[in-house]
């Protein structure tokens, strides 16, 4: 996903003004932090941030930082750090007022997606913003929609071959948010196949 974030990160970072409302931003499943580095570059007011991923991923990312996006973009080391943990264990999830989940929930079935969101609900500093970056299926499904979103439907077809993942419609994401205690706020169209679903926790 780092390669995808390398291409889309600058677009996402500049398109979402709401990132600037966060004083502590956590990139859940952020791997090397490519997306987070782009956001910090565009939003200088964010003075604290965390790349949060499984310990094995964090260890690998921290030990192979020769191609460091934070350094490449001139981000001070005082503004970011790497933390290992598990999104399904809220005791390991950092407290923050902003969370990024890029291509995370589409790897999960509904039960696990709700469990992950509930972890954020439990630990988030109030008020908090949650930004879900995913491919979103348009409704109603018509031949024109399928033609326009053929790459999204192709990805969904691939995901059907797994036991866990799937692409979802906006309403399906809203349902997940509500079941986890979060409130849907806005769908951001950013000129990419990806869209940004902004929600909040009071």
Query: Where are the chain's structural domains?
Result: 2-135+167-201
In DSSP terms, 198 is beta-bridged to 131, 186
Token pair belonging to 94:
């950092």
Q: Helices H, strands E: what count in the chain?
A: 8, 8
Of these residues, 43, 60, 106, 188, which one is catalytic?
106
What's the pLDDT score for residue 137?
A: 87
What's the CA angle centered on 16, arms 123 and 100, to 5 degrees? Answer: 30
29 with 104: CB under 8 angstroms?
yes
What's the CA angle centered on 107, arms 101 and 112, to 5 degrees? Answer: 85
For 10-28, what is the mean pLDDT?
94
Token pair belonging to 49:
């941030």
pLDDT for residue 146 is more than 60 = no
**Residues 126, 115: Cα–Cα separation, whole Å:** 19
Active site residue 43: no
What CATH topology corresponds to 2-135+167-201? Answer: Rossmann fold (3.40.50)
| CB atoms near residue 74 (< 10 Å) | 9
Position with higher pLDDT, 62 vs 17 = 17
Average pLDDT of the chain is: 88
Token pair belonging to 11:
């677009």
Q: What is the pLDDT of residues 46-83, one digit of tens each?
A: 999 999 999 999 988 776 655 689 999 999 999 999 99
């Amino acid at each position: 996903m780092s390669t995808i974030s390398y291409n889309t990160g600058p677009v996402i970072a500049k398109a979402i003004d709401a990132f600037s409302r966060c004083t502590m931003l956590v990139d859940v499943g952020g791997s090397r932090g490519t997306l987070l580095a782009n956001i910090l570059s565009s939003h200088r007011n964010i003075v604290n941030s965390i790349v949060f991923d499984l310990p094995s991923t964090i260890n690998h990312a921290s030990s192979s930082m020769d191609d460091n996006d934070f350094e490449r973009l001139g981000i001070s080391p005082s503004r970011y750090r790497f933390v290992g943990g598990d999104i399904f264990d809220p005791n390991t999830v950092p407290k923050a007022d902003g969370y990024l989940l890029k291509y995370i929930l589409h790897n999960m079935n509904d039960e696990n997606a709700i469990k992950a969101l509930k972890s954020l609900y439990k630990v988030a500093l109030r008020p908090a913003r949650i930004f879900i970056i995913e491919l979103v299926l348009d409704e109603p499904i018509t031949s024109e929609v399928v033609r326009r979103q053929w790459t999204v439907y192709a990805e969904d077809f691939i995901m059907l071959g797994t036991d866990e993942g799937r692409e979802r419609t906006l309403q399906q994401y809203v349902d997940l948010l509500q079941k986890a205690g979060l409130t849907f706020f806005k769908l951001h169209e950013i000129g990419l196949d990806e869209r940004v679903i902004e929600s909040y926790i009071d």
